[in-house]
Structure 1
Amino acid sequence: MAKKKMGLEDLGGFFFSTDKDFDPEHSKDEEQDEVLAPKDQLLEAHYSSKGRAGKKVTVVKGFVGPEEDLNALGRDLKKKCGVGGSVKDGEIIIQGDVRDKVMSYLRELGYKVKRIGG
């Protein structure tokens, strides 16, 4: 029977930092959940059909904040555009080429929006 190789996670994990004020209890994961005001965020509205069997979608990237807020924003965008979609990997994916509607709604909410591609 083969022995299982030990990894760093088997050792209980450890931190190494040259920063004398480093606190492992407050890692980068928690820093990403800080809430930025909409006026301080720059979102990107992409148009894509790659990897989706030719289906066209609008992808919103660049949101900074908690996952719950991202899900709520995605839900609002889907309702506003009257289409389906999902939220995956920090991106809001809206079915169809509704980039203009998405951009205008995000601007109403106070976000800065940049049109990326075509």
Structure 2
Amino acid sequence: MSKEENEVVATGMPQGSAPITTTVINIRTETSVPDHIVWSLFNTVYMNCCCLGIVAFAYSVKSRDRKMVGDMTGAQSYASTAKLLNILALVLGILVIVIFIIVSAIKGQSR
């Protein structure tokens, strides 16, 4: 007997070549697709410049619907569009506020 076979016999493992069965468990990772619905709601209520907040909210709802039925590709597509529209709405809203403050300050000094 070789050294390995002697160790197997000493540990009590069977010497015959019995079939070894294995079990494979596929764990599906839950991919998180953010739908940006809270951000869209904020932009709809406060920064609805050119109605971009409402459109972003609609895309966020579509993204959430696609996620609920399991279409992660569609959900990601709608979510990225909602994110882009939210960024545009936020930037335009802040720009309008800054311009309003500057115009108010200039008019206040001219009096």
What TM-score do the two structures reach when normalised by structure 2? Answer: 0.24
* Structure having greater relative contact order (Cα 8 Å, sep ≥ 6): 1
Bigger fraction of residues in helix: 2
Q: Which has the larger radius of gyration?
A: 2
What TM-score do the two structures reach when normalised by structure 1? Answer: 0.23
Bigger fraction of residues in strand: 1
